[in-house]
Amino acid sequence: MLEQAPKDFLTGFFQRDSLKPYLEKLILDTTLKKKWFSLALIDLDRFKRFNDKYGHPFGDEILKYAVSTLRLTFQGLQCYFFRYGGDEFVVVFPEKESKEALNLLRRCTYNLRHRLFLYKNKFYKITFSIGIACFPSDGKTQEGLLKKADDAMYFSKNYGRNLVTLAGRIKYLKIRNVFIILGSIFIVALSLFISYQFIFKDALKYTFRKIESMKIITKKPVDLDTVVLKSGEIFEGKVLEETNDRVVFNLYLQRGEGTVVFKKEELSSIKYGGQQSSQEKGEMSAME
């Protein structure tokens, strides 16, 4: 019945008015034969932006280029092409299940992506967003099938373009994407936690150490003792008490002073009033 149907002058595809009677007959025949068919709704990505920026003649050339890619990809296969809107096309695959149609259309997107469009000595990258619906699993009427294919096509656009989506897998894909986002958040949080534990914690440990008896001072004392930690940090102040396992230190700060306790195992050396401790002298002698 399509042999005599009118065709679009620009693309050579059947006009949209021919789609409805064709689908009605195909649904009836497919139901009687207890078979199936797939329908793909194809939309050119960013076509309006190209049209607005470069003009309608440029847009027409893109359409013809995209159409030629569809024809070349499906050459020799039983399928029917319709121009559904300005830059939207419908391809019907009789007796093809959704997964078969998916593989064919992925091949088409691959071909278009790697077949750059040349116009006035400049190359442009053109891509498709595609949604696929299958009769009867995704719908038993032409309206239902077109709606499912349209939903799948917009899913492809919303999740990055240049994609082919099966209508029957949208719910699964949405759940999968949520888990991917949650997994990414978890990985980032875990990375920050590990970084804090093994990199920043030691650096921040002394910064946020509890300092007691804080009081304001107006002038930096002279002959300060110096504590050098194994982490490389240096603190100035006065040693108030020193035992075998700890040092009580009156810490000098720019805006005040306070008491802090260091474990001996944290220390690299102590300089008293600018002089090296016996511990540091012993370490340096051993190095020599």
pLDDT tens digit string along 175-185? Answer: 888 888 888 88
Q: Give the integer Cα–Cα distance in Å for 238 and 135.
A: 85
Please write the tens of the pLDDT for every residue from 38-65.
Answer: 999 999 999 989 888 889 899 999 999 9
Give the alpha-carbon dihedral of 8, 13, 16, 20, to 10 degrees: 140
Domain extent at residue 226: 205-283
Q: Comparing 20-29, 38-47, 117-126, which segment has the lowest mean pLDDT?
A: 117-126
Q: How confident is the model at residue 203 (pLDDT cuts 50, 70, 90)?
A: low
Mean pLDDT over 242-247 rounds to 87
Does residue 241 lie in a domain region?
yes
Q: Comparing 71-75, 181-185, 214-218, 225-229, which segment has the lowest mean pLDDT?
A: 214-218
pLDDT surpasses 90 at 19: yes
pLDDT at 67: 94
Q: What percent of the chain has pLDDT over 70?
A: 83
Q: How confident is the model at residue 219 (pLDDT cuts 50, 70, 90)?
A: low
Do 125 and 166 fall into the same domain? yes
Q: How many CB atoms lie within 10 A of CB 84?
A: 21
Q: Any idea what the CATH number is for the domain that residue 42 is in?
A: 3.30.70.270
Please write the tens of the pLDDT for every residue from 69-118.
Answer: 999 999 999 999 999 998 999 999 999 999 999 999 999 999 998 888 88
Does residue 191 lie in a domain region?
no
Do 136 and 232 fall into the same domain? no
The domain boundary, picked from 125, 153, 172, lies at 172
Please write the tens of the pLDDT for every residue from 164-201.
Answer: 999 999 988 888 888 888 888 888 888 877 776 666 55
Does residue 76 lie in a domain region?
yes
The domain boundary, picked from 120, 151, 172, lies at 172
Q: In total, how many domains does the chain have?
A: 2
pLDDT at 31: 94
Mean pLDDT over 144-159 rounds to 95
Q: How confident is the model at residue 234 (pLDDT cuts 50, 70, 90)?
A: confident
pLDDT surpasses 90 at 272: no
pLDDT at 64: 93
Q: Comparing 4-13, 23-32, 75-84, 211-220, which segment has the lowest mean pLDDT?
A: 211-220
Does residue 179 lie in a domain region?
no
